[in-house]
Homo-oligomer: A and B are copies of this chain.
Amino acid sequence: MREEKNEVVKKFELVFGREVLEDLKRGENPTLELVSRTLSNAFFDEKKGLITLGNKKEKRSFFSLGQAKKFMQTLLVAAQLKKNIEEKQPAIGTRQLFYLLKHTIPGTNENTFDDQKTETDPIVEDIEVTLNVLREQVGLFAVPDGYIVGPMIAYDRKTGDSLDYTKMGLGGGAIPAMVEDNFYHIKEISAEFVLVVEKYQVWQLLNQEKFWKKNNCLLMTGKGQSARSPRRLLARLNREFNLPVYVFTDLDPWGYYIYSVYKQGSIKLAFFSEKAGVPKAKFIGLSTKDIEKFDIPKTNWIKLNQLDYKRIKEIKNYPWFKKKEWQEELSRLEKFGYKVESDSLVAKNISFTANTYLPTKIENKDFLP
């Protein structure tokens, strides 16, 4: 029996093959119709609770002085990715893709590509949004960063390994670069929720305190502003397994924003946000009201600086922070005048975060939306 043609390969053939060929047959200017990735096409979809791309399209034609090179480059990237999939090549990084594609065009001094950031990277994004696939589904990976522990078993489809995240030691399980189901099959979860921790130091301490065991949860960190794969994994845990997601960050505008990227995504990566956002995520803290509630000592407070105040103002204007609770929280932070780091809770006592703060917040469902 002949193998069913890969769905993604079919998409490549349709958009970057057949449609171009038909233009040629009709004697027309070969033209690609790509979903526009301009900021003006990215918006916060209130209904979905996600940042997403609109429907604007842009054309890229061969017979056009300004577009000919980019048109050709787009077809080269598409052809290479399709070839890699068909040949069942290993996944590669975007730097490696660049080198695979960089050639001198025979008989000229001209290179197919001269730069990754301005040439191959944007085309990879064009292809993602136009075919409605993630790069991880077309044989590309981004450098990951982050750890997860707790009652989950995943099956690595490529190596055949079974990964039990209750048995990963203090180091925890590395969140892989490829967390799509074609690589990473999530087999079993008995956790009741996911706690995402902004900071590695806080995560490590909670792991040592066996927080995930005592609270039957998955405990994850993306080490600050998260890379792609922790966000995507979190979205899968929420969307496919209905796990509630709580995010724990510093009390400052940077912490709030990290939360919002997990939840609604970002304008800059609007397409990815659609796939990796967790609209139902909750903010567990630190919030301004926690300071009094938990009697966080004043020595832990750090005065907000001009940059912090500026950032608070910016965030206040983001449509996805327009909810009443967040507008109030942001105003309270401005009025309070201090930021408080999540690490600082150790000053109460080393186990305070694991044994008092987080369990109390969860029990009282004391979250921001």
Given contacts A89-B350, A201-B92, A205-B92, contact A170 B158 (CB under 8 A): yes
Given contacts A171-B176, A176-B170, A177-B170, contact A204 B99 (CB under 8 A): no
Tell yes or no: A190 within 8 A of B by CB: no
| Pairwise interchain contact A91-B145, C-beta atoms closer than 8 A | no
From B143, B175, B183, B299, A223 is in contact (CB under 8 Å) with B143
Tell yes or no: A69 within 8 A of B by CB: no
Given contacts A147-B174, A177-B171, A178-B170, contact A208 B350 (CB under 8 A): no
- Copies of chain A in the complex: 2
| Pairwise interchain contact A204-B172, C-beta atoms closer than 8 A | no
Give 1 or 0 for each of A146-185: 1 = CB within 8 Å of chain B CB: 0100000010101101110001111111111110000110
Min CB distance, A113 to chain B, in Å? 9
Q: How far is the CA of A163 from the CA of B165 in the complex (A)?
A: 11
Q: How far is the CA of A95 from the CA of B13 in the complex (A)?
A: 53
Given contacts A171-B144, A350-B90, contact A299 B162 (CB under 8 A): no
Residues of B within 8 A of A223 (CB): 143
| Pairwise interchain contact A100-B347, C-beta atoms closer than 8 A | yes
From B96, B162, B174, B201, A205 is in contact (CB under 8 Å) with B96
Q: How far is the CA of A96 from the CA of B200 in the complex (A)?
A: 11
Q: How far is the CA of A169 from the CA of B179 in the complex (A)?
A: 11
CB<8 Å pairs between A and B, sample of 6: A90-B350, A96-B343, A96-B350, A100-B350, A154-B169, A163-B167
